[in-house]
A and B are shown apart, each in its own frame.
Chain A
Amino acid sequence: MLLIPDVPLWPKEASTIAPHTDALFIFLCVVTGAMALFIFVTIFYLAIVYRRRPDNELAQEGEAPKFLELAWIVAPFIFFMVCFVWGAWLYFRISRVPDNALQVYGTGKQWMWKFQHPSGQREINELHVPVNRPVKITLASEDVIHSLFVPAFRVKMDVLPNRYKTMWFQATKVGRYHLFCAEYCGTLHSQMVGWIDVMEPTDYELWLAGGSEGSLASQGQALFQHYACNTCHTEDKSGRGPILTGVYGSTVALNDGQKVVADDNYVRESILNPQAKIVAGFGPIMPTFQGQVSEEDLLKLLAYVKSLAQAASPSAVASPNVAPPATPVRRQGKGK
């Protein structure tokens, strides 16, 4: 009855995660299906065999054996633990971003998705990525909570207005896949949808070579000067703020003795709420940029700060256990 060709009963399987999710899902369907079927058949069997009849007005003497009680506490528990361990293993896998992932930036706003590539391309409700290459999306929201959901990849991540979230996938098949907003966000929530275009690497290179406004880092550099960040964050020790060269990815000592790793959220917080974490040896003199810098511009600034780390010492940024990327890493910033 459901053999109509256009009716999918199973989502497309187009990422490295998808087969793992499907395997666990099928396992759960089979075991819980068998469990439920066993219960239904038993109920029907007992309700028919022991139905009320003139010779069965009274319940009969005797009960089901007592050991059953223990059996149906222990057996489901063991099954639940298997589900827990398998599910947690998969969750770790979904959460851990491969080191060689291609970086993309995404912003959700009512009601569209905007994506920025390090080389400077920008797209709306559409994201071009190469096949067979891990892609990492750093996500921010301009307003309310959104959630980026790609069913064919079996990944989803809420997008928050006050911190960066990261989601990654490695597409395994060329094609166009739905991209949805999964967290209700207002009037046109159901229109906050788009496509992910998975392309052959060569097509992707061609697409990237199309027009852009300069690399994201260079746009960030321009903003760095526009907001006069460079007056304090100078390239030598004469400035009133810390030197930013080589900071990203390093461990920073703070005024209160704590140490933090300078990751995406640290950079973001340092721009929007500079008083929260002050680098050892500096005063709380930086003004806040909350409400002055858009999420898209913040991502540009982040890309610039990241590029400063790479400029300082390429080997220090990449962690030592990095595997060589599957395809040659494109140099960031054409011609810059």
Chain B
Amino acid sequence: MTSVTYHDVRLMEPAKTRNYLNVDYGFFSWLLTKDHKRIAILYMISISVMFILGGFFAMMMRLELLTPQGDLLTSDTYNRFFTLHGIIMIFFFLIPSIPAVLGNFLLPLMLGAKDLAFPRINLLSWYLYIIGAFVGLVVIITGGVDTGWTFYTPFSTQYSNTHVFGTTLGAFIVGFSSILTGLNFLVTVHRMRAPGLTWFRLPLFVWAIYATSIVQLLATPVLAITLVMLMFERVAHVGIFDPALGGDPLLYQHMFWFYSHPAVYIMILPGMGVASEVVAAFTRKKIFGYKFVAFSSLAIAFLGFLVWAHHMFVAGISVYSAMIFSFLSMFVAVPSAIKVFNWTATLYKGSVSWQTPMLYILGFIGLFTIGGVTGIFLASLGIDVHVTDTYFVVAHFHYIMVGGAVMAYFAGLHYWWPKITGRMYPEWWARLAALLVFIGFNLTFFPQFILGYVGMPRRYHAYAPEFQVLNVMSTAGASVLAVGYLLPLIYLLWSLRFGPKAGPNPWGAVGLEWATTSPPPKDNFHETPAVTWDAYDYPAFLTAMGETQHV
């Protein structure tokens, strides 16, 4: 076994090597592939379709909310649209986004492995996702569903006359995709690390994905159980949640949030991992407090299981259990704060580049901070009574999920685009898009904090006239945001053909994924790498490279 050093990377001629994209052609070479990189591409295409669909529903809602009267859509249509927006964006876009696309592509590369531990299970995960998504699409085409993505009982089991069964079946199936991906990643991190790649030499993205996988594996089965119970009650009238049948609606909320709160961390933890990678690469510096950042991911995964009832402070839990859940929710904010401060401190004495991935991540840190501190508002019991179920909550979780997770996904997409495709995206357009997303996002969602405190409840098809001005601002922002999201779709596709060739390591970044050609060969590395350096060992790396490879 010989070790690959960075000197060797420079000598590789990317054009002459067969890579995972041109090693094989044809429809079935993709549909039956066991290559984690091709499966990542399959996921990327699928979730992009879902993102566009979910975005369409969001845009229709924002247009409806331009005026206080419910005039563009009927109440039933509006209710279906916000439900489908939530279900598509959460189950079919955000949860698979970073883990299934970037995680799938990068995890074996970062570990110096040829593939994931279970390549066939990986393909199965994608098929489960596709089956779940197909069921979801059938539901949409045949009339949709109007329960909200939370499926609260007894509305979902006894009162809604839309396709609750089909939708929950789709979510149930896609859940197994998530479970199997988590399992695959866990085993891969434990068993497939390259020689010398000890736990504390792992990139922080791997730590984040590892923590995410634990949550996926342990929490998603609870969702599956809950949805099966819901389906049973709806179809067979077995009394579990509906009081008319002897059940308890609060039981449903406990079970649902036991999954769905940790699910928030399934969405944001991988984003934090991307942030660590990008901050290190674009400051050329080791992340400040590496171990704190690594363990804070595990702490978030663990504490995330203990805070679910903070969604239920006015739902009918006792004052004392509310107090305990508020207390624990405050704890989960600490590891998130650690990460934000450590990223900031990494900039100190760094070589900070303002290229697109870094712009997205600077935006991510800012928006995640706002999303995080408004979480403190909601965890604080007395405030939650007033703002829960209002637009304040809507703004809060969009700051975490769109300002956080989606910004990080776009950062990662741009950062690893040259590795994935072998091509550079157009930098100027990309910076413009990043700026538009940032401005559009804030204009859309910041007014919603005010709207919520003033008292506008969420999921309202028509609203009191005094709320209109803030809603108009929000809709204007959403239009800017839509343009910001459409631009990358265009220029990234453009770059596939016209983008300049990237070379193995266009950023001068450290990490095993940059120690192979772009795009990587089918088996990732020409020779199994042996790792002798710590994560983000930039000084040693740049000295070795003689500073020749900056963009």
Cβ contacts under 8 Å, B376 to chain A: 28, 32, 80, 83
Residues of A within 8 A of B450 (CB): 9
Contact with B along A62-94 (1 / 0, CB 8 A): 111000110011001100110110111111111
Number of A-B contacts (CB under 8 A): 276
Q: Which residues of A contact B314 (CB under 8 A)?
A: 147, 156-158
A36-66 contacts to B (CB < 8 Å): 36, 39-40, 42-43, 46-47, 50-52, 56-64
* Complex contacts, A11 vs chain B, CB 8 Å: 453-455
**In the assembled complex, A228 has its CB within 8 A of some CB on chain B:** no
Report Cα–Cα, A21/B455, bound state, in Å: 13
| Given A9-B450, A59-B349: A88 in contact with B381 (beta carbons within 8 A) | yes
B466: A residues at CB distance < 8 A: 6-8
Q: Which 4 A-B pairs have the closest CB atoms?
A: A90-B382, A151-B455, A87-B380, A162-B243
The answer to whether A187 and B76 have CB atoms under 8 Å apart is yes
User: Roughly how many angstroms separate A155 CA and B389 CA in the complex, as a whole number?
Assistant: 12
The answer on a CB contact under 8 Å between B319 and A95 is: yes
What are 19 A-B pairs with beta-carbon distances under 8 A? A4-B469, A35-B373, A43-B362, A46-B352, A50-B350, A63-B349, A68-B341, A77-B334, A80-B376, A84-B327, A84-B330, A84-B380, A87-B379, A91-B322, A145-B155, A161-B244, A186-B79, A187-B79, A291-B244
B contact residues around A25 at 8 Å (CB) = 377, 383, 386, 453
Distance in angstroms between the alpha carbons of A186 and B350 in the assembled complex:
54
Question: Which chain B residues border A51 with CB–CB below 8 Å?
Answer: 352-354
B residues in contact with A69, CB < 8 Å? 289, 292, 338, 342
A268 to chain B, nearest CB (A): 11
- The answer to the question of A173 belonging to the interface, with a C-beta cut-off of 8 Å to chain B, is no
Residues of A with C-beta under 8 A to B250: 160
A156 to B382, CA, bound (A): 11
Residues of A within 8 A of B70 (CB): 190
Known contacts A11-B455, A39-B340, A291-B244; decide if A186 and B159 are in contact (CB<8 Å). Answer: yes
Q: When the two chains form the complex, which single residue of A24, A81, A144, A162 contacts B159, counting CB atoms closer than 8 Å? A: A144
Smallest CB separation, B443 vs chain A (Å): 13
Interface check A174, CB cutoff 8 A: no
B462 neighbours in A (Cβ, 8 Å): 190-191
Among A100-108, A119-127, A177-185, the stretch that binds chain B is A177-185
The distance from the CB of A26 to the nearest CB of chain B, in whole angstroms, is 11
Contact surface of A with B, Cβ cutoff 8 Å: 2, 4, 6-11, 20-21, 24-25, 28, 32, 35-36, 39-40, 42-43, 46-47, 50-52, 56-64, 68-69, 72-73, 76-77, 80-81, 83-84, 86-95, 110, 143-145, 147, 149, 151-152, 154-158, 160-163, 165, 178, 180-191, 193, 290-291
Question: Dominant SS at the B interface?
Answer: helix
Is A94 in contact with B352, judged by CB distance below 8 angstroms? no
Q: Is B155 within 8 A of A186, CB to CB?
A: yes
Contact between B322 and A62, CB atoms less than 8 A apart: no
Once the chains are docked, how many angstroms separate the CA of A68 from the CA of B342?
9
Shortest C-beta distance, B519 to chain A (Å), equals: 27
A28 and B546 CA atoms in complex are apart in Å by: 50
Give the chain B neighbours of A80 by CB distance below 8 A. 330-331, 333-334, 376
Among residues of A, the one whose C-beta sits closest to the C-beta of B283 is A59
Interface string of B337-359 (1 = CB under 8 A from A): 11011101101111111100000
Contact A94 B351 (CB under 8 A): no
Report yes or no: B159 in contact with A165, Cβ–Cβ below 8 A: no
Residue of A nearest to B341 (CB): A72
Give the Cβ gap from B168 to chain A, nearest Cβ, in Å.
Answer: 17
**B31 interfacial contact with A, CB 8 Å:** no
B265 on the A face (CB < 8 A): no
Q: Which residues of B contact A64 (CB under 8 A)?
A: 288, 345, 348-349
- Could you tell me if B457 and A149 are in contact, using CB atoms closer than 8 angstroms? yes
Q: Is the CB of A72 within 8 A of B337?
A: yes
Mask, B449-461, CB within 8 Å of A = 1, is 0100111011111
Cα-based distance from A90 to B250 in the complex (angstroms)? 24
When chains A and B are docked, how far (Å) is the Cα of A56 from the Cα of B338?
27
| Bound form: Cα–Cα A72–B341 in Å | 7
